[in-house]
Amino acid sequence: MRSAKHKIPVITGRNFRDKYFYPAETGGYQGLFDIHRREDEAYRCQPLITANRLDFYMVVLVTGGEGIKTFGTKEYYIRKGMLCFIAPGMVTNWESIVDEHQGYIMTFDEQILPNLHTFPFFQVDGCPVITLDEEQQQYYQHYFGEIEKEYQSDRPRKMELVKALLTVVLIKTQHLYSVTEPVGGSNAAIRLTAAFMALIDKDFGQKLSTYARLLNVTQNHLNDTVKAVTGKTPGTHLHERIIREAAQLLIHTQLTIAEICYRLNFADQSYFIRFFRKYTDLTPGQYRISQKYPWI
């Protein structure tokens, strides 16, 4: 018989808050239903959550952040535009790649709706991760926002509306499920992709060949793997990382466009302006003004 220390722990509503989030506090998910935003300072996800099982259902809408999530025996590279489903008893773990995460976490007991176990994304052999396009992301953000608003209200019989909205979300997902290809890839591919993303997050000033060398793979293999897992080439991810850095410098510093261009290793300011506009539809100057004076 295996000793108790080798058993996969079951996380209940009573200890959910302390196991999943920090800073650790008492209390947690106590009722039939709960919803909160991943960016809420009171619900900052632990960077590493070892293997566990929940005794309730969880649905996560990811609008920002990245990490590796294991569902049963399969690993998935979790990122913006994904919808994740965890059923009671499913073994999962989590490894965060970045510090900041956005979206919603919704938790509920099986008593809240009948026959939850019949939805394919909650079944052991189902695909627990669905990738959403931009229109679908907006759809789910709207409904999760409405669920949050109703749940936090003091209206009588609010849970009836919460259950109705949750039902819409689950049925909509069931329709998507039948036409969605499973997302993911081999564990090795996901690990390589995560390692690449971590590298460019820390240092985005290298050539792709340098990242491939640091990861001990060929550039072609890196390109094929990252594109298969994320749908984007390593070059696109690198460009998007540079854009994020440029945007931060434009918003939070008084550096001139020329100085930002120099810091980001662009030899030509006009090229930097074209590069920035390609990804944001705005010039750096226009972007800075739009963030400083959003009503313009």
**Span 98-102, average pLDDT:** 89
Q: What is the pLDDT of residues 131-176, one digit of tens each?
A: 999 999 999 999 999 999 999 998 888 999 999 999 999 999 998 8
How confident is the model at residue 58, as a pLDDT?
Answer: 95
Pairing of strands 21-22, 10-11: unpaired
Q: Given a cut of 50, is residue 118 above it in pLDDT?
A: yes
Distances (CA, A) of 215 to 219, 221, 232: 10, 11, 18
How confident is the model at residue 185, as a pLDDT?
Answer: 58
What tokens does 144 get? 């999760």
pTM: 0.69
How confident is the model at residue 295, as a pLDDT?
Answer: 44
Does 185 or 262 have the greater pLDDT score?
Answer: 262
Does 28 or 142 have the greater pLDDT score?
Answer: 142
**Span 114-134, average pLDDT:** 87
**Span 34-45, average pLDDT:** 87
